Amino acid sequence: MHSCGFDLVSAALAEMSAVDSLVKAEVVPPAGTLGDLLYRNPTRSVVSEAAWNALVQAIVARDGQAMRTLYLQIHRLVFTLAMRITSQKAAAEEVTIDVFHEVWRRAAEYHPKDGTVVGWIVSIARSRAIDRVRYETRKKRVSTEKADPETSGPDFAVLALEQHQKAKLLHSALATLSPAERTAIECAYFSDATYAEVSQRLKEPLGTIKTRIRAGLVKLRHALSREGFP
């Protein structure tokens, strides 16, 4: 049942190419008021809020004709808003279609206490249009980075170089330790062991292990500070 109703909506939205060919030139220029967009045809009667709500409730019941009527009443406003935000005709057309498909899906979520039907649809349109602009911006940025790999990630190259230099400094500093000091420090810090566990593994008194580690750390600190290591 729902898929049938959705097919009716899709068919109604497909008519946009024919309808919009007549109205786009009219709606793109700035209009004075919301009413100018909704009721630019002076022979069209003003739609009451009760009528708007009735259309939404009919859409909740999956009435495809109600969806078509709603679209014809307000699509030019949605297109104009999308056009002003995206500044691209093709993008505005896609946003307009997306908006009405979203109205079809989310009609049951609308409640009059949250505002007017027109306000609700405009909010959806604005959100969709902004999302489209963000998407296009991200796509252009990724495309630019792929086209120019030298500018795609200099921070990563700098970071890798810094890490390599720090590793060399640390290796050089470790060379200043005695074998016993280096073994004790590596066992304690690289194996994440306590001083007592290091004592047991190396079969050395706990006091001796503490002394070796402290002395070794002092040597490391001095060696690294001489090399400008932070």
Residues 118-152: pLDDT tens digits?
999 999 999 999 999 988 888 877 766 665 555 44
Q: Is the pTM higher than 0.75?
A: no
Mean pLDDT to the nearest integer, 30-38: 49
User: Which range has the worst mean pLDDT, 54-63, 66-75, 211-220?
Assistant: 211-220
Report the pLDDT value the prediction gives residue 107, as an integer from 0 to 100: 93
- CA-nearest of 108, 80, 109, 74 to 92 is 80
**Is the pLDDT score of 85 beyond 70?**
yes
Task: Grade residue 23 by pLDDT with cuts at 50, 70 and 90.
Answer: very low
Task: Grade residue 160 by pLDDT with cuts at 50, 70 and 90.
Answer: low
In angstroms, what CA-CA distances link 112 with 100, 124, 202? 18, 15, 76
Domains along the sequence of the chain with CATH: 2-147 (1.10.1740.10), 153-226 (1.10.10.10)
Q: Which two tokens stand for residue 196?
A: 């007592």
Which is more confident, 129 or 174? 129
**Is the pLDDT score of 79 beyond 90?**
yes
User: Which range has the worst mean pLDDT, 39-43, 110-114, 155-159, 207-211?
Assistant: 39-43
Q: How far apart are CA 75 and CA 68, in angstroms?
A: 10
Task: Grade residue 16 by pLDDT with cuts at 50, 70 and 90.
Answer: very low
Report the pLDDT value the prediction gives residue 169, as an integer from 0 to 100: 72
- What is the pLDDT of the chain when averaged over all its residues? 76
Query: What's the 3-state SS for 96-121?
Result: HHHHHHHHHHHHHHCCHHHCCHHHHH
Report the pLDDT value the prediction gives residue 137, as an integer from 0 to 100: 85
Exposure letters 113-151 (e unless 16+ CB within 10 A, then b): eeeebbebbbebbbebbeebbeeeeeeeeeeeeeeeeee
